[in-house]
Amino acid sequence: MKLESFVNNSWVAGAAEGRPLVNPTTGAVLATADASGIDVAAGMDHARTVGGAALRGMSFGERGALLRAIADTLSANRDAYEEIARQNSGNTKVDASIDIDGGIGTLKYYSGLARKLGDAHLIAEPGQDQLARDPVFFARHFITSRPGLAVQINAFNFPSWGLWEKIAVATLAGVPSFAKPATATALLSYRMVKDVIEAGTVPEGVLSLVCGNGEALLDGVGPMDSIAFTGSAATGAMIRGHENIQRCGVRLNIEADSVNATIVGPDVKPGTPLFDLAVKEASKALSVKAGQLCTNIRRILVAKENSDEFAQAVAARVQTLAVGDPENPDTRVGPLINQAQQADAKKKMDALSGETRVVATATAPQDAADGSAFVAPTLLLCDDPTAGRFVHETEVFGPCATVMPYDNMEQASQLAARAQGSLALSLFSDEASVQVATLNNLGAWHGRILMVDEAVGKNHTGHSIVMPQCVHGGPGRAGDGEELGGLRGLRLHMQRTAVQGSPGNLEKLAEDACELAL
């Protein structure tokens, strides 16, 4: 099977044989993908002119109805997607649900937001400013859809959620999407888009898909376009430095590497509910999606007097994890997505070995196929994290995390910040002073902070789970990007313009607008 691309309202295959997509449990080749020889530039023009015009002609409410229709189409085919996620991504049922249902849920969430915006076609920010001595000349800010397209470049670990969360925001903003899934796991993205197109759910030009190399997308973007990229810092740097992107001033949002941390506050003692919750959350980092989440916990900071008991509590859970074929309902941890990722994870775990020691490791399947990509969940301990370097800079994209003892909260904050910017931080503490200090000291270093106290308890959504209501992204090394966050996500795809004029003029302009502060 060879995956085709949907460009210029047609399904078309690339000219070359393409890269293989494999089953990471067996090593069997499932499909190939290639985009060489496809006229991507013509497809991008078609999306801007035909798809863009269609979306800008819709109200926010109508765009929301479109998102709901997409979600309904995907829901009707969900069982097929779960099987694809198992075969191509090595997902267990739980892992597949996070990706598939996360994508569908995000589409529904943005559809709901759109209903609240109603029949408006643009946004007027609240309030206006008087610019002259007499009250006859004012300024007000309006936000309109840009006549470009949104290039969506996604990572291999979320072929559903990563695809649809970007498309949902761009569509609501009135901008057509040109999606480029990571080739290794593109089978799910391909099948989902194919189902949506075949159902006649979206107007022509609103949704396009490139399966294979995406270099032509970077060459083809223009000044009204935007790029949302999720992936490695190295690829993000390449995109940021691309000649055409720099020349055109394309809007660019990057979500990259992140060595995220959780802090177990000094008030959280063994035997307390918060201690148990923190142990459970740290254990998830070594099992859910085989550790392949960009928001996953990589470093676990625990007060020195509690660190040994904490490490042993997590170790006890790690040693019970069943690693194996995700088709087996007893399996908790499936394989990484391919042997290249397996080799990369093991190489980086080796790099950590000079600064850490192994506390516990699960048992990898002994009868694994030669082409499989299993990595045994491993808990490490860094006795001297202040002296460590690689433990703060190395993101093992697999089931591996490191416990780090700290002397006081000031040191814990310093250690957390040594990742040079992260997507997510979690704090387990009941102490208000600890919570305040964490926000003041670490807010600037993180895109999201999860604070769990006894009032929240087990009701929190999890360190790694990205919610569409909250911004997703992080400063510094994490790419300095920001996605989602409810309607805040529209800012990437829309233009804020200061309009100066008479009160009557501004009032007239606002008649087709919803009032909203982004």
The neighbouring-strand residues paired with 301 are 263, 404
Q: What is the mean pLDDT of residues 412-440?
A: 95
Q: How far is CA 404 from the centre of its chain?
A: 26
Q: For the segment 457-473, what is each residue's pLDDT rounded down to a tens digit?
A: 999 999 999 999 999 99
Position 43 scores a pLDDT of 95
Cα separation, 258 vs 475, whole angstroms: 10
Let me know the angle formed at the C-alpha of 468 by 463 and 469, rounded to the nearest 5 degrees.
Answer: 90
Q: What percent of the chain has pLDDT over 90?
A: 92
Q: Are 221 and 250 in contact (CB under 8 A)?
A: yes
Lowest mean per-residue pLDDT among 238-242, 317-321, 361-365, 414-418: 361-365
Of 161, 8, 27, 165, which Cα lies nearest the Cα of 88? 27
Tokens 């196929």 sit on residue: 369
Mean local confidence (pLDDT), 15-43:
93
What positions carry a catalytic annotation? Answer: 255, 294
Cα distance between residue 241 and residue 195, in whole Å: 35
Residue 396: pLDDT band with limits 50, 70, 90:
very high
Q: What is the DSSP letter of 121?
A: S
DSSP for 156-222, written as a single string? TT-TTHHHHHHHHHHHHHT--EEEE--GGGHHHHHHHHHHHHHTT-S-TTSEEE--S--HHHHHH--
DSSP string, 15-84: SS--EEEE-TTT--EEEEE--TT--HHHHHHHIIIIIHHHHHTS-HHHHHHHHHHHHHHHHHTHHHHHHH
Residue given tokens 């309904």 in the structure block: 72
Question: Measured in Å, how far apart are the chain's first and last C-alpha atoms?
Answer: 45
Distance CA 263, CA 307 (A): 11
Q: Could you give the CA distance from residue 328 to residue 306 in angstroms, rounded to a whole number?
A: 36
Model pLDDT, residue 512 = 87
The neighbour count for residue 250, using CB atoms within 10 Å, is 20
Q: Say if CB 144 and CB 175 are below 8 A apart.
A: no
Q: Which band of pLDDT confidence, cut at 50, 70 and 90, is reported for residue 373?
A: very high
pLDDT exceeds cutoff 80 at 366: no
- 0.85 exceeded by pTM: yes
What's the pLDDT score for residue 487? 95
Give the amino acid at 333.
V
Write down the pLDDT at residue 516. 87
Tokens representing 165 are 């969360």
Q: What is the biggest distance separating any 2 CA atoms in the chain, rounded to whole angstroms?
A: 83
Residue 325's pLDDT band, with cuts at 50, 70 and 90, is very high
Q: What's the pLDDT tens digit per position in 143-178?
A: 999 999 999 999 999 999 999 999 999 999 999 999
Q: In angstroms, what CA-CA distances link 319 with 28, 262, 264? A: 29, 21, 22
Q: What is the pLDDT of residues 184-206, one digit of tens each?
A: 999 999 999 999 999 998 999 99
Indicate if the alpha-carbon torsion angle 331, 332, 337, 340 is positive or negative. negative
For residue 223, the model assigns a pLDDT of 94
In 351-457, at which residue ranges do the beta strands (DSSP E only) sit? 357-361, 378-381, 400-406, 422-428, 446-452
pLDDT at 17: 86
Let me know how long the chain is. Answer: 518
Residue 359 is classified by DSSP as: E
Position 36 scores a pLDDT of 87
- 153 contacts 218 by C-beta, under 8 angstroms: no
The helix, strand and coil proportions of the chain, stated in percent and rounded to the nearest 5, come to 40, 20, 35
Q: What is the DSSP string of 369-396?
A: -TT------EEEE-S-TTT-SHHHH---
What average pLDDT does range 38-61 have in this prediction?
95
Nearby residues of 141 by Cβ (< 8 Å), 6 or more positions away: 124, 125, 496, 497, 498, 499
What does residue 466 show for φ and ψ, rounded to 5 degrees? -90, 125
User: By the 8 A CB rule, do 422 and 478 touch?
Assistant: yes
Mean pLDDT of the chain: 94
For residue range 267-292, what is the model confidence (pLDDT) as tens digits?
Answer: 999 999 999 999 999 999 999 999 99
Say if residue 382 is exposed, middle or buried (CB neighbours under 10 Å; 0-12, 13-18, 19+): buried
β-bridge partners, 177: 150, 207
Domains and CATH numbers, the chain: 2-119+146-256 (3.40.605.10), 260-478 (3.40.309.10)
Q: Which pLDDT score, from 0 to 100, does residue 370 have?
A: 86
476-498 mean pLDDT: 94
Each residue of 70-84: pLDDT tens digit? Answer: 999 999 999 999 999
**Closest C-alpha among 9, 3, 2 to residue 44:** 9
**pLDDT at 110 exceeding the cut of 90:** yes
- Evaluate if residue 518 carries a pLDDT over 90: no
